[in-house]
Amino acid sequence: MATILTIDDERPILELVKNGLQKDGHFVTVYTSATQVPLDKLNSYDLIILDIMTPDIDGFSYCGKIRSLVDCPILFLTAKTMENDITFGLGLGADNYLTKPFRIAELQARVNAHLRREHWERHTALAFDRIKIDLSAKKLRVDNTPVALTKSEYLICKYLARNKGQVFSKEQIYEAVFSLEGDSDNSTISTHIKNIRAKWNKLDIRPIAAVWWGGYKWE
């Protein structure tokens, strides 16, 4: 059982999410505004579901505010489908998103997949020239300097690095990282890798290569 925080200004959405996740045995706390959430309680949640279009403070701003305070997965609920919005939200540290209207079964699957991911065992380290991935500390370093990756960016790098030289489609990466089938979530992986490669470019390293048919590999 996990403790989940859900913020959305639409009460029917809150009821749908709460009822659906409680059926999976989770304890769900709901708010209609992010300003109602006590900051000192944030670390008690195992996962946060956050609507982008919330009153008082929007979901993007709130995510940016709390990302340094919490280590749990953050999932966005959004009516927006433009790539720039998705890129911006994931870049703030969100792990995934779901576009309204959504099926509660899909939300349940994503929530449980992220919670399972949080309990993956991590051992030893992976080293590649200038890059070292500390699997125990969940840190990636270049020239012994930590690189600021979001959780999902880190997990994508870890998965590709563990399978160096092997090409994976976006669907395969999504399923491996989030434990979900990824037929409709190509944009999530594409956006995360776009953000990862932008960070690599600043360090003049390019370990993740794209292949012509849309896959990726760690070189």
For residue 120 the two structure tokens come to: 């993956």
191 plus 87 within the same structural domain? no
48 plus 147 within the same structural domain? no
213 plus 153 within the same structural domain? yes
What pLDDT score does 122 carry? 40
What pLDDT score does 82 carry? 59
Instruction: Give 49-80 pLDDT, tens digit per residue.
Output: 999 888 889 888 999 888 878 878 899 988 76
What pLDDT score does 81 carry? 65
Helix (H) or strand (E) holding 97: strand 96-99
What pLDDT score does 123 carry? 44
pTM > 0.75: no
Cα dihedral sign for 80, 83, 88, 93?
positive
Report which of 117, 112, 110 is spatially closest to residue 26, judged by C-alpha positions. Answer: 112
Task: Name the domain count of the chain.
Answer: 2
Q: What is the mean pLDDT of residues 147-176?
A: 88
SS3 132: strand
What is the Cα–Cα distance from 167 to 214, expressed in whole angstroms?
Answer: 10
Domain range enclosing 194: 125-218
22 plus 113 within the same structural domain? yes
To the nearest whole number, what is the mean pLDDT of the chain? 84
What is the Cα–Cα distance from 95 to 89, expressed in whole angstroms?
Answer: 9
